[in-house]
């Protein structure tokens, strides 16, 4: 380094792991692997996915008994998701090491330990009223759900009386905004202005009320 010889440098390489594991269920609602009839998820079955910040995603089918086998898992950090009905990853345990939430640190490999993934059915909701809009026909509430550096967007129609309510949602950070239904598709295609969004932090069992201002009439 810097023109000098450096001896005895040891580079530690952690080999990929094969990880056996199983799901644990918070309650009977989390245990039901229900999916819409004919959906792609139903055709492919239930799966667990490990997504790194960079590198290859690792997936495995989940058996009807909740067990899975992950092959050639590289040593790095992952975000874990499970397609088992309407559930989210609440916590995990790798051998005796516990992880709260869906972030799994495999920087040092698995050490041959079994992975237990605890899933729960979402219970939290966000609801409210869209105010100051006069006619509420054709309005919706856009909801951005954040997953670390990733996010997804969905919308909920506003009722004629101005009220709206989300389906049960997992814990996390959300941004919401009242929009015209005709604008929803364009919002899904690109980022929304944070200055126009309301931020909501949801816990595991929250029912939060958030009133929104109607968008400006076109």
The predicted-structure confidence for 151-203, as pLDDT tens digits, reads as follows: 778 889 999 889 999 999 999 989 999 988 877 776 666 556 667 788 999 99
Residues 114 and 150 in one domain: no
Residues 156 and 110 in one domain: no
b (16+ CB within 10 A) / e for 96-115: eeebeebebebeebbeebeb
Domain membership flag for residue 36 = yes
Distances (CA, A) of 41 to 84, 152, 153: 9, 18, 19
**CATH classification of the domain holding 37:** 2.60.40
| HSE, side-chain direction, 13 A CA sphere, residue 10 | 2
Closest by alpha carbon to 119, among 99, 94, 98, 90?
90
Residues 160 and 197 in one domain: yes
More reliable by pLDDT, 204 or 39 = 204
Q: In whole numbers, what is the pLDDT of the chain averaged over residues?
A: 84
Say how many Å lie between the first and final Cα of the chain, rounded.
63
How many other β-carbons are positioned within 10 Å of the β-carbon of residue 11?
4
Domain membership flag for residue 6 = no
Domain membership flag for residue 89 = yes
For residue 214, how far is the Cα from the chain centroid?
Answer: 28
pLDDT value at position 88?
Answer: 93
The boundaries of the domain holding residue 99 are: 17-120
Range of weakest confidence among 32-41, 68-77, 174-183, 200-209: 32-41
Here the tokens at position 57 are 């995603």
Q: What is the pTM of this model?
A: 0.76
Q: What is the distance between the alpha carbons of residues 48 and 35, in angstroms, rounded to a whole number?
A: 15
Range of weakest confidence among 8-17, 49-58, 126-135, 209-218: 8-17
Domain membership flag for residue 1 = no
Count of domains for the chain? 2
Q: In 3-state terms, what secondary structure has residue 209?
A: strand
* 103-125 per-position pLDDT tens digit: 999 999 999 999 999 999 999 99
Residues 182 and 87 in one domain: no
Residues 153 and 109 in one domain: no
Q: What is the distance between the alpha carbons of residues 79 and 103, in angstroms, rounded to a whole number?
A: 5
Residues 66 and 158 in one domain: no
Q: What is the distance between the alpha carbons of residues 218 and 180, in angstroms, rounded to a whole number?
A: 9
| HSE, side-chain direction, 13 A CA sphere, residue 215 | 20
């Amino acid at each position: 380094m810097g023109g000098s010889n450096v001896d005895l440098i040891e580079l530690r390489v952690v080999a990929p792991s094969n990880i056996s594991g199983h799901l644990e269920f918070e309650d009977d609602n989390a245990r039901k692997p229900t999916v819409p009839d004919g959906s792609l998820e139903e055709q492919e079955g239930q799966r667990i996915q490990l997504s790194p910040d960079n590198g290859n995603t690792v997936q495995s089918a989940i058996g009807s008994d909740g067990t899975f086998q992950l092959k050639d898992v590289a040593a790095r950090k992952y975000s874990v998701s499970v397609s088992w009905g309407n559930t989210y990853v609440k916590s995990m345990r790798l051998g005796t090491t516990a992880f709260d939430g869906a972030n799994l640190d495999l920087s040092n490999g698995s050490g041959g330990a079994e992975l237990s993934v605890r899933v729960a059915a979402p219970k939290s909701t966000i609801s409210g009223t869209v105010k100051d809009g006069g006619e509420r026909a054709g309005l919706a509430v856009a909801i951005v759900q954040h997953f670390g550096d990733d996010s997804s967007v969905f919308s909920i129609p506003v009722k004629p009386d101005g009220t709206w309510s989300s389906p049960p949602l997992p814990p996390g950070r959300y941004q919401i905004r009242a929009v015209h239904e005709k604008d929803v598709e364009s919002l899904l295609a690109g980022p929304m202005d944070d200055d126009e969004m309301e931020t909501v932090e949801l816990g595991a069992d929250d029912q939060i009320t958030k009133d929104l201002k109607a968008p400006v009439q076109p």
